[in-house]
Homo-oligomer: A and B are copies of this chain.
Amino acid sequence: MTTLKNDLLLRTLRGEKTERTPVWMMRQAGRYLPDYLKLKDKYSFFERVQRPELAAEITIQPVEQVGVDAAIIFSDILVIPQAMGMEVQMVEHKGPILPDPIRRASDLDKLRVPDVIESLGYVFEALRLTKKTLDGRVPLIGFAGAPWTLLCYMVEGKGSKTFDVAKAFCYTQPETANLLLQLITDTTIAYLKGQAAAGADVIQIFDSWGGLLGPEDFEALSLRYIRQIVAALKGHALLIIFAKGAWHSLEEMAATGADGLGIDWCIRPAMARQLAGPRVALQGNFDPAKLLSPIPVIRKEVRAMLDAFDGGPHIANLGHGILPNVPVDHARAFVETVKNYAYEPAE
């Protein structure tokens, strides 16, 4: 096993004091990088995801070109529904389409809990290849969607602002919803253990649509299943939960034993710390749209964010994925400002 040259992220997640704040960006591997766009012109989305040499190349681009402190494997949360037997189409400018969504109990018969090595081995291969190519430069992050977020797509069949079809499914057929969530959870646990075995040092659970649920529903439809995943991954990898908008359950998320919690820009860091308690690392929370500001404004605002996270372990990140139209030098300004924070005089 290669010793990591930069293990800031891992030490922060373990609650250790570090010489500076580690930084990475959600969706850092992808759409705003010109070298990624060249690959996008040549290969379809699922070719890029499924061919380990392409996924590894895309994963490493931001490490080399933007200087982040961690790599996150280039993949997609919808590989799980795909492996469970659903068709997933990626439509440019429209997002994912699942043409044959789950709507009733009998639809579950179409799903399988797959052998993850058989159906998702390409992700493990991409992780192994990335790990080898990184050669200990930075840690490697694997990920999966939270069961609730995957249910949203599997039932709604497409993206949505409010996922009303998915919510109505849960409210009118709660037993079927729970069966589906448990199937997804079981698959996800096997998948993430495989990712850890293939070299992922850290796992992030993306609950992109957690914020659509009130606190009681978040517990019943999301956290209950995330808790199983966190427990199963203990000892396999460090774990971060990012449930966008679900600030109301930070205390409950911290109580799962997760090592880190992602937060978006709509909660003040001091409030997040108060809710989450002193132990867990907080990750975030720069407004991605602010990376469109002029660079001097970005530098000023990033320093203000770092000031606000004073006290308790912190991983600098955006509050959601980086936008496609962010100039690369703006992304670099974000990363560099974090790295230089301790050394620059305050304004």
Interface residues of A (CB under 8 A from B): 161-162, 164, 167-168, 171-172, 211, 213-215, 217, 245-246, 248, 265-268, 271, 285, 287, 289-290, 292-294, 297, 319, 323, 325
**Which one, B248, B271, B292, contacts A171 given CB within 8 A?**
B292
B217 touches A292 (CB 8 A): no
Given known pairs A171-B297, A271-B248, the reply for A214 and B266 (CB within 8 Å) is yes
CB distance from A265 to the nearest CB of B (A): 4
A161 touches B161 (CB 8 A): yes
Chain B residues near A267 (CB, 8 Å)? 248
Chain B residues near A161 (CB, 8 Å)? 161
Minimal Cβ-Cβ distance residue in B for A161 = B161
How far, in angstroms, from A245 to B287 measured CA to CA in the complex? 15
CB distance from A93 to the nearest CB of B (A): 13
**Which one, B265, B289, B294, contacts A164 given CB within 8 A?**
B289
CB distance from A166 to the nearest CB of B (A): 9
**Which one, B211, B265, B271, contacts A266 given CB within 8 A?**
B211
Minimal Cβ-Cβ distance residue in B for A167 = B289
Minimal Cβ-Cβ distance residue in B for A323 = B164
How far, in angstroms, from A294 to B168 measured CA to CA in the complex? 10
How far, in angstroms, from A271 to B323 measured CA to CA in the complex? 32
B217 touches A287 (CB 8 A): yes
CB distance from A339 to the nearest CB of B (A): 23
Chain B residues near A172 (CB, 8 Å)? 292-294
11 chain-A/chain-B pairs, Cβ below 8 angstroms = A162-B289, A167-B292, A168-B289, A171-B290, A171-B292, A171-B293, A171-B297, A214-B265, A214-B285, A245-B266, A248-B268
A292 touches B168 (CB 8 A): yes
**Which one, B164, B287, B290, B297, contacts A292 given CB within 8 A?**
B164
B248 touches A266 (CB 8 A): yes
Q: A164-B292, A167-B292, A248-B266 known; 20 other A-B pairs, CB under 8 Å?
A: A162-B289, A164-B289, A164-B325, A167-B289, A167-B290, A168-B289, A168-B292, A168-B293, A171-B289, A171-B297, A213-B266, A214-B265, A214-B285, A217-B287, A245-B245, A245-B266, A246-B266, A248-B267, A248-B268, A248-B271
